[in-house]
Amino acid sequence: MYIQLNKKITVIIAVFSLLISSCANVKTVTFKTPVDTRTKKIATQVKKTYALNTMQIFASNQFYGAHLNGFEKVNDSTVKVIVAPENTPINNSAYYSFKAWSKETRTVYFQFSYPEGYQHRYPPKLKVAGTNNWTVLSEDNIFRDGKSTTAKILLSKRPIYISAQEIVSSTDTYNWVESLIKGKEAYVHYKDAGSSRLGKKLPVLDIYIGDKKQKPIVVLLTRQHPPEVTGFFAYQEFLKTILNESNLSTSFLKKYRVLAFPILNPDGVDLGHWRHNAGGVDTNRDWSEYQQPEIRQVVKFITSASKRDQGKIVLGLDFHSTYNDVFYTNKIRKETALPTFIEEWFRALEMNIPNYKVNEKAANSTKPVSKGWFLYGHKAVGITYEIGDKTPRDKIKLVGKVTSEEMMKILIKQ
């Protein structure tokens, strides 16, 4: 009897210490302005094909990344595209995405309709089904009348994607990652940091040449916010440049370790969300107590790698999109692992990108964003790397490449 009880206590203690240690290795970070990131309800779209039979016009949201909540006839040449966010309050990232077709080739006016308080933001990007080429609908075909926006688009039998931004689903991302690292398996380790609320993979590329022990760590994040694909395009070039096996990248990866997370919110991406994950939360406000599974597992992966291999996290870049290109930085520099990095990097960018002026907005994070987590949690330099919604796509490639090269050059000299 006594022995049994003793055993029970031992088991209880073992369970408790397990709990404590699993909490202990994910240290929370306190911010001045906390944000409630507990899971909230989201509205899910009805996935279907809308048929406007009298017009012989059709629209569908039955694909990853689609967002269409209703499709109605207004008059013989105009249809209403009804779009509502996953929940509110939410930023005005009024994302829509659907494919449309008609029985006869004809011009159709698409009138965008959002809930009160939200406005049209993104000019339509078009892609004929079965092709890979996105184009932006020209301004001549976009009509703004007070609060409402109408787009004139030619429809035919062949479906055309009409989307706020280019569609890059989780599948597209996983496929891109696999093609990117093909033949580089000796130094790019494709790992799983866990899975999203809906069970989608949270991949991470663990990149280093030689021994990973004690190598300083650079963390690359992106796609916390689903429609922000221009930031992802820069991320792709940035990472591609690190993996291009030049002398620069080879010396860099002998000295540093890169943890690259190519998609932090796969559920939100595939659900066509404006901003949130499947838990109805802005994951870039969850870098304090990690209430959402995506951030909790990514944080755990980063901090465990750093601890286990005694590698200090020195820099974290989080790629996003907004109205213009901008780098959001922290003002605190002296106490960080790389006190002069930001100034040196921005100077180098202006010297190496033709006609380029860095747009920096410096302020210490008060809300729980990744930029603040790098600073307050790790004394690392944290930067939110934003690309404009409308920045020309070839310019993004150049900026992505040069920002990567100049980062490597500066870090090698440390």
Number of residues located near Zn ion, criterion CB under 5 A: 3
Q: How far is the CB of 228 from Zn ion (least distance, A)?
A: 5
Q: Which tokens hold the place of 413? A: 């000299």
Beta partners for residue 329, in sequence order: 362
Phi, psi of 183 (to 5 degrees): 80, -5
Q: How far is the CB of 223 from Zn ion (least distance, A)?
A: 9
Angle at 247 between CA 219 and CA 186, to 5 degrees: 60
Return the number of the residue (197 or 225) whose C-beta is nearest Zn ion. 225
Binding part of the chain for Zn ion, among 4-12, 259-267, 312-320, 387-395 by CB under 5 A, reads 312-320
Can you give the length of the chain in residues?
414
Return the number of the residue (215 or 225) whose C-beta is nearest Zn ion. 225
Q: Cα(236)–Cα(220) distance, rounded to whole angstroms?
A: 11
Q: Which of 320, 371, 378, 401 binds Zn ion (CB under 5 A)?
A: 320
Q: How far is the CB of 340 from Zn ion (least distance, A)?
A: 27
Q: How far is the CB of 225 from Zn ion (least distance, A)?
A: 4
Q: Cα(24)–Cα(267) distance, rounded to whole angstroms?
A: 28
Return the number of the residue (69 or 370) whose C-beta is nearest Zn ion. 370
Q: How far is the CB of 385 from Zn ion (least distance, A)?
A: 10
Q: Cα(398)–Cα(277) distance, rounded to whole angstroms?
A: 30
* DSSP annotation of 281: -
Shortest CA distance to 111 belongs to which of 63, 59, 157, 66?
59
Q: Which amino acid is at 229?
A: V
Return the number of the residue (37 or 111) whose C-beta is nearest Zn ion. 37
Q: Cα(243)–Cα(264) distance, rounded to whole angstroms?
A: 21
Q: Cα(36)–Cα(40) distance, rounded to whole angstroms?
A: 10
Q: How far is the CB of 367 from Zn ion (least distance, A)?
A: 13
Binding part of the chain for Zn ion, among 148-156, 303-311, 320-328, 333-341 by CB under 5 A, reads 320-328
Binding part of the chain for Zn ion, among 70-78, 105-113, 316-324, 389-397 by CB under 5 A, reads 316-324
- Residue 67 is a binding residue for Zn ion (CB under 5 A): no
Shortest CA distance to 229 belongs to which of 361, 106, 387?
387
Q: How far is the CB of 333 from Zn ion (least distance, A)?
A: 23
Q: Which residue is nearest to Zn ion (CB)?
A: 320
Return the number of the residue (124 or 226) whose C-beta is nearest Zn ion. 226
Return the number of the residue (225 or 371) whose C-beta is nearest Zn ion. 225
Phi, psi of 378 (to 5 degrees): -135, 5
Return the number of the residue (120 or 320) whose C-beta is nearest Zn ion. 320
Per CB under 5 A, contacts with Zn ion among 170-229 are 225, 228
Beta partners for residue 149, in sequence order: 112, 144
> Which residues of the chain form contacts with Zn ion (CB under 5 A)?
225, 228, 320
